[in-house]
Each structure stands twice: as structure tokens, then as C-alpha cells.
């Protein structure tokens, strides 16, 4: 099935007021990749792959740790990983307006709104999968998908790319992207 989603494939660096380690470069193209998430470092012997997507990295960690899959404990651990990745990539010292404007830039909203209220209104119309957004932040070489139809967004998300709703609702920035998909 052909996808009509578009991707926001920005030239690096994009003007976003959060830190991305410039000392770590991907092998392809020298794109900065942020490897400093403390969640993965908690597990002895586990070597994180900063180019891996969040779900693949968690599955690899589960195998490394010998965790069962498809259990309540597994879902809780995945939520912890999502929360840690979110905090690492989104919670930084920038002002609230700068963070909202950075999200607008990242998802291709332009011109960049001048107020938080205008940013929220603009972002409310954008269909973005939060797991894909984190993957993009983990590795800017991963294209950020901006969906043109709700059906495509729903199909993509229902294929196992579900960010924990509780975490997204608790955050002032990410809850703007929440959609009722069930």
C-alpha cells in the first residue's frame, strides 16, 4: 500500500533549543546522534545503539535482560524507556515558547507562530506518531513522518508504535499530538 504521508527531512542542524551531542556522529553523513540517555546505561553489559529506533532498542534490551514479552511488566518497562527517552530529548532548559516553536519547526509548520497559543493551534492539526518523533530525535537520519490522512496515521500507529498515553497526557508538549485511534 503506497503511503501518502510526507516526511520532514530537514537539513542538519535544525534550529531546536535542546541538546544533541555533537561529539557522536553517525557513520552515514556525519549526522549528530544523541547517545546520552541514562535509561540504557542502567543495564550492565548493554551497549545502546543510538541509530536504532526506540522499539528495536527496547526489544534488544529485553532479550539482553531475559525479560518476557507481552506482559504487564514488559509494558511498564517500555513505558519507563519511553519516559526516559522523552525526558532526555524533550525536557531541556529552553523557554516554553522556544520549545513550542521548535516543535513547529520540526514538524514543518511555517511560518513559525509567535505565541504558545498559536503554536498549539498549528500543531493540533498535525498528525505525528510520538514514537516516530522520538526515533527522529534519537537519530535525525530517521525521517519524521507527517501523515496526510488519519487512516494512514492510525494504521502506522496500530502497527505497534504506541506511545504510552499516560505519559503523553502528563506532558504539556506531547499531549497536543494525541489522537483517539481505537
Instruction: Look at the chain and report how many structural domains it folds into.
Output: 1
User: Quick one: pLDDT band at residue 115, thresholds 50, 70, 90?
Assistant: very high
Residue 7 lies in a domain: no
What residues are paired with 154 via a beta bridge?
Answer: none
User: Quick one: pLDDT band at residue 13, thresholds 50, 70, 90?
Assistant: very low
160's grid cell: 505497534
Residue 117 lies in a domain: yes
Residue 15 lies in a domain: no
Mean pLDDT of 148-177: 79
Q: Element (H or E) spanning 144, and its range?
A: strand 144-146
Residue 38 lies in a domain: no
Distance of alpha carbon 47 from the chain centroid: 20
Residue 40 lies in a domain: no
d(CA 35, CA 29): 17
Give the domain range for residue 145. Answer: 50-177
d(CA 53, CA 37): 13
Amino acid at each position: 500500500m503506497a503511503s501518502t504521508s510526507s516526511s520532514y527531512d530537514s537539513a542538519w542542524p535544525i534550529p531546536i533549543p535542546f541538546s544533541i551531542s555533537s561529539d557522536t556522529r553517525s557513520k552515514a553523513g556525519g549526522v549528530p546522534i544523541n547517545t546520552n540517555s541514562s535509561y540504557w546505561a542502567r543495564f550492565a553489559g548493554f551497549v545502546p545503539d543510538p541509530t536504532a529506533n526506540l522499539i528495536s532498542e527496547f526489544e534488544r534490551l529485553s532479550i539482553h535482560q531475559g525479560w518476557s514479552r507481552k506482559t504487564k511488566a514488559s509494558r511498564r518497562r517500555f513505558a519507563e524507556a519511553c519516559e526516559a527517552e522523552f525526558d532526555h530529548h524533550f525536557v531541556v532548559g529552553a523557554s516554553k515558547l522556544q520549545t513550542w516553536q521548535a516543535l513547529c519547526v520540526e514538524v514543518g509548520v511555517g511560518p513559525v507562530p509567535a505565541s504558545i497559543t498559536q503554536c498549539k493551534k498549528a500543531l493540533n492539526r498535525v498528525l505525528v506518531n510520538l514514537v516516530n518523533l522520538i526515533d527522529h530525535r534519537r537519530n535525525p537520519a530517521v525521517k519524521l513522518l507527517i501523515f496526510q490522512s488519519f487512516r494512514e496515521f492510525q494504521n502506522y500507529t496500530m502497527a505497534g508504535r504506541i506511545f504510552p498515553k499516560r505519559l503523553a497526557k502528563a506532558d504539556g508538549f506531547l499531549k497536543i499530538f494525541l489522537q483517539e485511534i481505537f
